[in-house]
Structures are given as C-alpha cells and as structure tokens.
C-alpha cells in the first residue's frame, strides 16, 4: 500500500460545492488499470483522474480518466481539472508555465483521446482553464428511436434541431427542447435513456433568454451508472459542435455560457468557445476542496 497525493476539486465551479466533483490521484505510478478502476469505483465520483509519466512527444502531463464503471478516452471536466492540478502541484516544467504576451499559458494534455491543447489564463486572480475537445463526429449511421423523434419528449416540446448522436470521445445523444423551464422540470425515463445505442447517454439543452447564461443543459447517463451528471464537459463540447454545424450558436462571436447542474444543487458554468476552425473549447473555474493523501 502506497501513500499518494490526492486532491478533490469542483470543476466548472464559481465556488466550492458547485460544479462537478473530480478525484485527482497525483502519484499514480505503479497502479495498473485494475487498481485505478477499483479506486475510482471506491471513490464513487463521476470521474477520477490518474497522473502518470508522460509518454507522448510534446505532452506536458499525462492522465487516464476513470468513471466508477470504466475508463474514458476523454471527458471535459477531468481535462479542465487536470490542467489546473498539473500547474497547482508543480507537475509541469517551469519553462512550460510561462504565459505569452496575452497572459495565456499553453499546455498539451496526453490522454487516451490523444494530445489535446490546453490554455490557462489568470483573470482577476482567478485561474481559468480551456481545453480543446476532440472533434465531434455526427454518427448518422445510428438512427434515433421513435420516442426521441416525437414532437414531445418526456412531456416537453422539442426544439427546432432534430435529435442527433455525436461522439467526441464518448457518445452523447443530443436533444434540443423548446423551453428552458420545461428542461429544468424534466423527469426523464431512465430506462429508455439507458437503452439508447451509444452506452445510454442523453444530453438535453434549451436556449435561455436573459440572465447570466445562454444555454441550459442537463446530461443523463444511466447506461454508465450515472442518473444525471452535475456538469459535463464532453456533452457541452458535442452540443457546441452541433450548434455550430447548424449555424445556431447562442451568445456572440462563437462564445457562450452554459448552465448545468442547478437541478442537483451544483449550479455549474461552462464557458464554450467555437473558434474559426470550428474546434470547440470548453472551460471554466476550478475550486480546490480536499488536499491530502490516499493509501492505495
């Protein structure tokens, strides 16, 4: 049994107790896949990341991402939290931590999805992290079930865009609803969602009119054992790509704010940017909650 540095963070969080919790095992050398999976299951957070020695050319740090039930090639809130933790814990070499003229620090994350660019900046004393998500693929080969194509889903009217299955690491079915209030009151059938092709995950979104956010999002993943995820970077990345492909982005200049997790008492905020190359960046604040050691 080895003592390993451990953090617990809230990601996409403007204050502790908001956003999505993330377990961070800083010293994961010596752990095999089975041990990482067992620890992620024991912690029972939506995701836990494990820092490992860098194995890819040009990477600043290397992580593996586990849910309580399996490994993910990419997930958004673990990637945002990983960059924050890599800087906070001194895992990035000093010469790579220097900001450019605009005040941004550019890093490269190695994970199962490949090498992902990361940008970190300080704004009013707050460290903001943005990660470029893997390019989302619209899986047109998988037809939507009839219930997802109905004018009303779980008692809420659909929006203008048809349901679609996207993959940017994990699969997410994307469903636009016509009304934010209906989205927030939604009581979905978990069994129906769990049976969806693509590991049983559904991200629902609706436009917001006024206030501090442009889009409201909820993400249900009973197919992987998560009834509702507090704040989901991969789902928000796929939604951003889908909206951009349909010239339907909210906000201005390819930037908008998504609100997710309020129904679970988390009230997370995801900053989404679609750049000129149609790549989607997701980011936000990270709050440290626990720092110590874990024996595993």
Among candidate residues 47, 176, 180, 228, the one labeled active-site is 47
pLDDT of residue 241: 97
pLDDT tens, 38-71? 999 999 998 999 999 998 778 999 999 999 989 9
What's the average model confidence in pLDDT over 115-142?
93
What CATH number should be reported for the domain holding residue 96? 3.10.310.10
Residues 145 and 125 both lie in one domain: no
117 and 178 assigned to the same domain: no
Between CA 72 and CA 223 the distance in angstroms is 14
Per-residue pLDDT reduced to its tens digit, 232-289: 999 999 999 999 999 999 999 999 999 999 999 999 999 999 999 999 999 999 999 9
110 and 192 within one domain:
no
- The whole-number average pLDDT for the span 155-160 is 98
Q: Clarify whether residues 193 and 149 are in a common domain.
A: yes
| Claim to verify: residue 170 and residue 268 sit in the same structural domain | yes
Domain count, the chain: 2
pLDDT at 156 over 80: yes
Question: What is the pLDDT at residue 103?
Answer: 77
66 lies in the same domain as 168: no
Residues of the chain with pLDDT > 90: what percent?
A: 88
Q: Where are the beta strands (DSSP E) in 150-248?
A: 152-153, 156-157, 164-167, 171-176, 202-207, 215-221, 226-229
179 shares its domain with 92: no
Q: Is the pLDDT of residue 123 over 90?
A: no
When pLDDT is averaged across residues 31-37 and rounded to a whole number, the result is 98
What residues form DSSP beta bridges with 62? 52, 110
Element containing residue 118 per DSSP (H, E): strand 114-123
126 and 143 together in one domain: no
Helix 76-88 and helix 233-245: axis angle, to 10°? Answer: 120
* Domain extent at residue 114: 3-133+284-295
199 in the same domain as 90: no
Known catalytic residue: 212? no
Question: Given pLDDT bands bounded at 50, 70 and 90, which one contains residue 102?
Answer: confident
Whole-model pTM? 0.93
Shared domain for 162 and 247, answered yes or no, is yes
pLDDT of the residue at 282: 97
- Share the mean pLDDT of the chain: 94
CB under 8 Å to 114, separation ≥6 — which residues?
134
Residues 126 and 27 in one domain: yes
């Amino acid at each position: 049994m080895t003592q390993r540095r451990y953090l617990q963070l809230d990601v996409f969080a403007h204050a502790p107790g908001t956003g999505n919790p993330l377990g961070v095992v800083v010293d994961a050398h010596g752990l095999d896949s089975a041990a990482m999976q067992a620890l992620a299951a024991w912690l029972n957070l939506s995701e836990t990341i494990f820092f490992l020695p860098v194995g890819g050319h040009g990477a600043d740090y290397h992580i593996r991402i586990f849910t309580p039930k399996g490994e993910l090639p990419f997930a958004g809130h673990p990637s945002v939290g990983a960059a924050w933790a890599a800087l906070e814990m001194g895992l990035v070499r000093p010469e790579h931590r220097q900001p450019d003229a605009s005040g941004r620090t550019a890093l490269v994350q190695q994970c199962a999805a490949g090498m992902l660019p990361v940008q970190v900046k300080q704004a009013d004393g707050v460290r903001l992290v943005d990660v470029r998500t893997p390019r989302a693929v619209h899986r047109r080969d998988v037809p939507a079930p009839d219930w997802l194509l109905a004018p009303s889903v779980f008692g809420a009217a659909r929006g203008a865009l048809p349901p679609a299955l996207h993959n940017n690491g994990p699969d997410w079915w994307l469903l636009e609803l016509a009304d934010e209030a209906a989205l927030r009151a939604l009581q979905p059938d978990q069994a129906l969602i769990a049976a969806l092709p693509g590991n049983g995950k559904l991200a629902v979104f609706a436009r917001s009119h006024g206030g501090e956010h442009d889009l409201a999002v909820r993400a249900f993943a009973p197919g992987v054992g998560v009834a509702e995820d507090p704040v989901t970077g991969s789902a928000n990345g796929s939604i951003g790509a889908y909206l951009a492909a349909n010239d339907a982005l909210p906000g201005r200049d390819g930037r908008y704010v998504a609100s997710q997790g309020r129904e679970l008492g988390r009230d997370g905020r995801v900053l989404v940017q679609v750049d000129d190359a149609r790549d989607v960046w997701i980011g936000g604040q990270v709050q440290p909650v626990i720092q110590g050691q874990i024996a595993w």
